[in-house]
Structure 1
Amino acid sequence: MISSVVDQALQEHDGDTKATIAALENKAIPNAMALFEATRVGGNYEHTVYPERLEFLSKKTKKGADDIWEGRHKWENGPLMTQLKDGTLTSVAVDVLDTNAAYCSALKAWLPIGSLVHQPNGGFDPKRSGVYLLPERPTWHHPHLPDPIGNRREPGPVFLDDATIRLLIRCHKLDLCDPPYITQAWTSGASENIAEKFRRVLTTAREKAVLEGDKVTEEYIKAIYSIFVSTIGESTTNRDLRRPDWMHIFRSQAFANLWYKAYRAHEHGLTIVRLRGTDELHITGDFPWRTVFEEGRLTTQLKLKTQYTLGKAA
């Protein structure tokens, strides 16, 4: 369902890779949904396609946002920047590492199977997934580590999705913070395997394309997973699946995956300088990052995006 579509598109455009990629991107939504449905054949669970719309999952305006926080990263190491500013540290050489296919890897996430049901007493059940209400933003006391729920600072209650809650619970187990205090929840029975076969198919096809230098297939696969995640919410361009809860969970899982990489770098003695979006990890240290992470373009690897210097030598 991937290679045959690519081969046909190449024939239709006489081998013109640029035109072929554009044509494949235009077909990405229906082709992504067809591939997803094919990977669900024989699955243990029949997921709800159009669950009841909940107010906090609905956009307030046509181009606006709903009420869910996703843990988006736009963080920098405050103490390090202070040292550079006051001269106690003259300069640092920074490597910017790039995560490969972040949203493809994020398809491995705990997804609610059915419609979300209100649990007025809150709490967390690892066999369920959905959206959780916390009375206030959890406190984070580690200036050298990025806040796991991102940079937003609005006061009052916060809605967090399942991927972010599981990250906070992991942080608690690492003795980094208190467990999330959940006062209400909207959840369903869950599975980590709903999109897992879909992810494996895309990962295998992407790996083959990377190893063979097949740029057309690589770009087509990128369009499939990125447009799948971005259109399963309230998009008018995808009418096959309406799961804004899944969309938020996938996005937050991508942010969480980057946070785990940052924490791994920190635990191995590297200094985190900045964290950006789903895929940028800025680090510095006295030894090569390649001793911590494997370099390459596969989903399990990181690649060097760029380098820069902070401080007087910049």
Structure 2
Amino acid sequence: MPDVMAWFDHTRKGSRYEHSSFPPVLDLLKKTGQKSGADAIWEGRQNWKNTAVRADATPRETIALDANAAYLAAFKTHLPIGQLTWNDSQVHDPKRAGIHHITPPAWPHEDLPSPLGDRRKTGDVWITEPTLRLLQRCTQDGLCDPPLIHESWTSGATENVLEKLRRTLAQVRREAIENGDDVTVEYLKSAYSKFISTMGESTYNREIRRPDWMHILRSQAYANLWLKARKAHQAGLVVVEVTGTDELHVHGDWQQVFTEGRDLSDMKPKRTYTLGADR
């Protein structure tokens, strides 16, 4: 962790926006128990399977695709700069970011997962900025009604807080891949993953405490995967499964939709299997 935090601090030198590393932590962002580690925020994690396709006995070749460096790609997101403040105007300010208490809209699509992910409960929920913006984008595309915002905790925001760090790590990762340096690739994966996971209430990183950032970055990774599923669906592929931050299963010619490779915007095949073959 000291290495990636040193990189982060170096990339923030001369930045236009000065972020807060230790703002007061809202009760909403505090763990409710030591064992569960849960708080009130729903991140929109995906764990979706297309039940209609899986019920079809017709054998169909399925490709499991992997999104590269999902958490690193999520560094491109709107992060609140300072302390979160409360607002109940029910209006979203795109110049601010944070967490929002909403009534989610109905999701009437069986062939595409909900942007809210694998949420079993119904009713109102606290979500982060990426999930709200994704729902609003779905509204613009006519996929669902707009979410009803009840209250928000936000701060002035920018997409550039982690941009220099993202570009630096992406470049080092790209060079390591080109040189066949798997040790560096794995080290970087561990570095940016731990950077996110320890910026909340963690004893492993004493240089920053932003549980709001942690939730937002995770939510952005889930949102990015959903957008890939939506892109595949729009191109005529059948979306079979969407899981976690990086796994997308489809029927169809995926290489007409995504570029195969190991760069951040690329997808790579993990395995091929036949769905319905055992029926």
Indicate the TM-score class for this superposition, using the shorter chain for normalisation: over 0.9
Residue 204 of structure 1 is aligned with which of 171, 174, 177? 171
What's the counterpart of residue 304 of structure 1? 269
The TM-score with structure 1 as length reference comes to: 0.86
| Contact in 1 for aligned 2:104/2:147 (Cα 8 Å) | no
What's the counterpart of residue 86 of structure 2? 118
Residue 170 of structure 1 is aligned with which of 133, 137, 142? 137
- Alignment of structure 1 residues 93-242 onto 2, 5 Å: 93-134=61-102, 136-242=103-209
User: 1:229 deviation in Å?
Assistant: 0.7
The TM-score with structure 2 as length reference comes to: 0.97
| Contact in 2 for aligned 1:102/1:254 (Cα 8 Å) | yes
What's the counterpart of residue 71 of structure 1? 44
SS in 2 for 1:159: strand
> Aligned partners of 2:122 and 2:68: how far apart in 1?
34
- 1:212-249 deviations in whole A, cap 9, x for unaligned? 10112111111111010110011111111100110011
- 1:182-221 deviations in whole A, cap 9, x for unaligned? 0100000000000000000000110111111011211111
- 1:73-109 deviations in whole A, cap 9, x for unaligned? 0001122123x1xx4xx22211000011000000000
Runs of 4+ in 1 over 6 A off after TM superposition: none
Tell which structure's C-alpha radius of gyration is larger.
1
Task: Report how many aligned residue pairs link the two structures.
Answer: 278
SS in 2 for 1:75: strand
| Contact in 2 for aligned 1:47/1:114 (Cα 8 Å) | yes
SS in 1 for 2:149: coil
Percent identical among aligned pairs is 50
| Contact in 1 for aligned 2:104/2:148 (Cα 8 Å) | no
Output the amino acid matched with 1:122: Q
SS in 2 for 1:182: strand
Which structure has greater helix proportion? Answer: 1
SS in 1 for 2:138: helix
| Contact in 2 for aligned 1:33/1:228 (Cα 8 Å) | yes
Output the amino acid matched with 2:262: R
Give the alignment's Cα RMSD to 1 decimal: 1.1
